[in-house]
A = this chain, B = another copy of it.
C-alpha cells in the first residue's frame, strides 16, 4: 500500500494498556500556564527508567479563558503510567513539582466523565499536606476544591483526578534518505497530531520525534528494560544481518503516540502518517512490533487507510 506515493509496510504497531490522568493547568496569563505545563510535562519521554522515575506526559491542547472553569488561560496535560499505583504517585508528583511552585496557577481534573474508571485522591498527598492544616475544602467553580495557602495567594486544586485506561506505545517509524528528511517529516507529523484531542506525541518539549527507538529488553544486555532497536539503526546496518533498513535509508525517527481511546489514537496515527509521507526523501513508513512481547494492542497500518 502507498500513501502519497510512499510505501506503508504491511505490519502493525504493538501498543499496550496504560493509565492516564487529564489535568488542566490554568494561570493568570497564558505564559505562566505554559511554563507550568512544560515543567510538569518534563522527563515525560519514555517509561524505561523505572521504578524511580516518572513515566510519560505531554501537553494535549491549549484552552482560552472562555473554556476553563476559572476563566483564565490554560493547558491540558496528559499523564500516563504503566500501572495505577505509579499513576497515583507521579500524577501527584508532576502537579506538586511542576505546577504548585509556578506563580498564579490552579489545577483542575479534565478527564471526560465517560472515560473515568477510577480516581486519584489529593487527600493525604504532598499537595494537600502542603497546606499544613491551613488548607480548606470549598465549593467553587461548581466543584469541590482544595484552597491551599501559597505565598502568592491561594492555590486551587481539585480534590480528585479521574483516570482512564488508555493506550501507550502507539507508534510509526519514518525511514528516510537523510537525517534532514526524516526530521522534517517527523516534525510535520507531530504538527498534524498536536491539534487532535485525547492524544499526545511522547517526546521532548513540543512533542519531538524519538531518535532512540527501543526494543524490549536486549539481545546482549538481557537484563535491560529496553535497548536500541538495532534492527532499525541505519548507522550499524553492516553489523546487523537481519537489519530492516533498505539500502537507500540513512535515518529513522519514531513518532510515539499515547492516547485515551482507540479512536483517538487511530486518528492520530492516520493523520501523522499521511502528513509524513508528503515530505520528499521519505522512503517508507513502518511500525515497531515485537512479536507480541510488548503489548496486546495492535494497530495494523494498512487498516488505518481503509
Chain A contact residues, CB within 8 Å of chain B: 28-32, 34-36, 38-46, 48-49, 51-54, 64-66, 71-73, 89-90, 93-94, 96-98, 100-105, 126, 129-134, 148-155, 173, 176-188, 191-192, 194-195, 203-206, 208-215, 218-221, 224-230, 232-236, 239-240, 250-254, 271, 275, 279-281
Contacts and interface: CB of A to CB of B under 8 A. Distances in A.
29 contacts: A28-B184, A29-B184, A29-B188, A36-B204, A39-B42, A39-B204, A39-B205, A40-B42, A41-B42, A42-B43, A43-B54, A46-B97, A53-B53, A65-B271, A72-B188, A73-B191, A101-B208, A102-B208, A103-B179, A104-B179, A129-B224, A132-B215, A134-B230, A134-B233, A153-B211, A178-B180, A178-B181, A180-B181, A180-B185
A271 B181 contact: no
A185 B163 CA distance: 35
A126 B114 CA distance: 39
Nearest to A231: B151
Contacts of A188: 28-29, 72
Given A38-B204, A101-B211, A184 B182 contact: no
Nearest to A251: B152
A228 B154 contact: no
B35 A39 contact: no
Contact of A130 (B38, B177, B227): B227
Copies held by the complex: 4
Nearest to A210: B101
B211 A104 contact: yes
Given A65-B192, A153-B234, 8 more contacts: A35-B204, A36-B204, A41-B42, A104-B179, A130-B228, A131-B227, A153-B179, A179-B280
A212 B100 contact: yes
Contact of A42 (B29, B38, B151, B152): B38
A181 B281 contact: yes
Contacts of A225: 126
B97 A206 contact: no
B32 A208 contact: yes
B251 A204 contact: no
Contact of A235 (B31, B51, B154): B154
